Amino acid sequence: MGRSPLTAVMKASYFAELAEKGKLPKSFEELYGNTPEKFFISIPDLKARFGERLREIPWGAIGLYTYLDKVKVGLQQLMAGVRKWRLNLIDRSDLIALSERASKATGIPLPEEIAGKIMENILS
């Protein structure tokens, strides 16, 4: 998890700087807005939590918060899908690799590799 949070911080800072200079790509502005207050989806939550102190928080930190909030939602969905309601109950057996490359790198099986085992468990 080292690179992706760092990327979120760097990109958030970069896009906030572009917005300040008025140099955001037109396609980005049309989709997300032309100010950080508009294009960071977590601003309303942070504004409710911090009020006027929100202005003291760097854009990179807001980008990191937004990224980690998305990770939180993904974990909640994974936990709901495997019917395990605490993080410490999840293990590698709850995961599948979506590509051969990922499977080779992690040792996590592909869907077709575990389909037979799942069917056996269902039928027994």
| Tokens (6 digits) for 13 | 């800072």
Whole-prediction pTM value? 0.77
Q: Report d(CA 92, CA 95) in Å as an integer.
A: 5
Q: Which domain-ending residue is among 68, 84, 100?
A: 84
Using pLDDT thresholds of 50, 70 and 90, give the confidence band for residue 1: low
Average pLDDT over residues 23-28: 95
- Shared domain check, 73 and 33: yes
Using pLDDT thresholds of 50, 70 and 90, give the confidence band for residue 10: very high
- Shared domain check, 98 and 76: no
Residue in 27, 28, 65 with CA at minimum distance from that of residue 44: 65
Q: Quick one: CA dihedral 85, 89, 91, 93, positive or negative?
A: negative
Domain count, the chain: 2
CB-CB contact of 110 with 96 (8 Å): yes
Question: In whole numbers, what is the pLDDT of the chain averaged over residues?
Answer: 92
Q: Name the strand (E) or helix (H) holding 119.
A: helix 111-123
